[in-house]
Structure 1
């Protein structure tokens, strides 16, 4: 995800399959996205900050040459306010994780016995605000029945605080 903002309005690029992008130019208002990159050697010689020695292991890497077909997806998302208050990260996550469904049989094909208890129509282990907070990890403990949820709250691209709570089901 790459957000760009000028004044109150902003534009973000969401990418799946492409890892390199930046905002370039004097006014920093042009998105540059690397579509294809291939290198011949793993290490580079005679760099400005490393004269006389390579930056890594100097060996050929033919597998870094992209051969055959490659697919990627890009999306533009416009917003007002800061990326944090507009929920840009949440929108990117929603775009990257589409709903997956599979059902090859009719909805009423399974005849189930009546349960001896009622369950709510919906249940949520936790609820997240629509903007400003992202789950960085949700993990069940190896022992016991506890879950841990790490949330990252960001403001102006800087982490404000990180919450780690134990959630009992």
Structure 2
């Protein structure tokens, strides 16, 4: 009799813990599914435009018609033409990561020049085979210079050629 009461008590004790645990697990699974659906329904793509400054990143999001508005000259072009190595905007804002536009600026990914302001490199120096950014982000295409200097000469001159060493 005592043994039956003990077993019955243990069952109640176990069911007392299992039922809330199952309920919490079910709520957690439903929550995870809701979050997954919300994330997968968002049409936002990560901003992978090379060479832009953080403060200008809001300009490099396609509009509803998948177009890009040139920042200063206000032309409207297809968003797929951004960083396509052809200067479509008069202000050069569609080519921040290439050397296509003569008036463009490339912002190094990890190098800070002045207090909290990323180093800017003239767009003509992008992919020229010489590392202008300490992280090599301006040489993303790995174009090699014809007359490569040896590593010792590059260190002495403090000017490095592709492949860029990570110097930040």
Q: Normalising by structure 1, report the TM-score.
A: 0.20
Higher helix proportion: 2
Task: Tell me which of the two structures has the higher relative contact order, counting C-alpha pairs closer than 8 angstroms and 6 or more residues apart.
Answer: 1
Higher strand proportion: 1
Higher Cα radius of gyration:
2
Q: Normalising by structure 2, report the TM-score.
A: 0.20
